Amino acid sequence: MTEEGVAEANPPKKQRNSVLEVLGVATRLGLTSFGGPIAHLGYFREEYVHRRKWLDEKAYADLVALCQFLPGPASSQVGIAIGMIRAGLPGAIASWIGFTLPSIFILVLFALVVKRFPMHETDWLHGLLVVAVAVVAQAVWGMAKNLAPDRPRRAIAILSAMVVVTWQTALSQVLIIGIAGFIGWWLLPKNSVSESPSIRVPLSRKAALFSWGLFFALLLLLPLMRQISSGQWIPMLDSFFRTGSFVFGGGHVVLPLLQAEVVPTGWMSSDQFLAGYGAAQAVPGPLFTFSAYLGAVISGWSGVLLATVAVFLPSFLLIIGALPFWDWIRKKSSFQATLNGINAAVVGILLAALYDPVWTKAIHTPADFSLALISFGLLVIWKLPPWMVVLFSAIGGAILSLF
């Protein structure tokens, strides 16, 4: 362990063994990490800091701060970054594969069930729509307490929700995030940033700049290519890449962004979308693997590969681009103020999604409302794991159909 708190990069002759080690550890975490991104970060801390001592506490906290600052799934990005620190780019890829593959496999199997049986013939699937109400409500409640704790940020959240409900397009959400970031930079207090250790990675700043260039090139060119494309692949690549580029504040925020991309285009019904989202709560690993389910419904196995790679690719590019510059970024208090504004806006975006499509598609009868309320209580009051609540709601949906 170096004085900076991170183990030195492995020499080439040891890298292969390190990659396999990273893959094995990440796969075990991918099979056992239930509970969402905050829980994932706890599992990572126990495994990588306490058990394996690949990083110390300060270095890990610094890495988590970086990944929470960047758009994308924070827990997946932390895993990618640790894999990169341990074994370079091959280690980053191995860490991502191990952590995401178990949930991808489960959700693809579920997608095959959804495609085989129409929604109106499977009453238990309606229970998954109902449990999505409880899950998103819990996410809004928890995120609001942490990300909108004062009046200015609550105002940003409420205004964002009002705009999204009124103007329901993917563009509106991107614009709101950008405007909220500017408001945060302009109006919110800029607190001093505490010192934290450096993080050494086997990457040059040239590689980082190339990664930033590729990220922005794809972000700008894919929408243009979409306009002249006659097939489905470029539109899918654009939709999932753009979604992965603008998710701030946690995995649940991917819900409204993806819904705006895949339902209005006719790629799937709103019921299929919400059933998959409900099922995604019951599997371990990152919520972003929900994209694998969507890809399977849209276009089978080829859709799985395209959607999954596209939605996670921004995370890779941003981590590669940011790690070599983190020492400079973390000293800028204006970045934290900007992030505070963005995080408040994503609370509002998720609140809008709780109303439409989650509530409007799931709650049709008093029994539906009762099932959602019980599920919310099981999550928030009795603290049951999400997979148990999902199972309960699916069974409840099937039972309600008998009356």
Share of the chain above pLDDT 70, in %: 88
Q: What is the mean pLDDT of the chain?
A: 85
CA distances from 65 to 34, 194, 200, 330 (A): 21, 12, 15, 9
pLDDT in tens, 245-290: 988 766 677 888 899 999 999 999 888 898 888 888 878 889 899 9
Tens of pLDDT, residue by residue over 11-67, are: 455 556 689 999 999 999 998 887 677 678 878 888 898 889 898 877 787 787 678
Q: How confident is the model at residue 8 (pLDDT cuts 50, 70, 90)?
A: very low
Which of 80, 82, 83, 103 lies closest to 91 in space, CA to CA? 83
How buried is 60 (Cβ within 10 angstroms: 0-12 exposed, 13-18 middle, 19+ buried)? buried
Nearest alpha-carbon partner for 85 in 169, 15, 186, 135: 15
Helix axes 74-116, 37-44, angle to 10 degrees: 130
Q: Give me the mean pLDDT over the 302-312 stretch.
A: 97
Q: Tell me: pLDDT of 5 over 60.
A: no
CB 248 within 8 A of CB 346: yes
> What is the residue extent of each domain of the chain?
121-400
Element (H, E) at 61: helix 57-69
Burial class (CB in 10 A: 0-12, 13-18, 19+), 383: exposed
Residue 62: the pLDDT is 72
Report how far residue 282's alpha carbon sits from residue 291's, in angstroms, rounded to the nearest whole number. 15
In which residue are the tokens 């980082």 written? 208
- The token pair at 195 is 């010192």
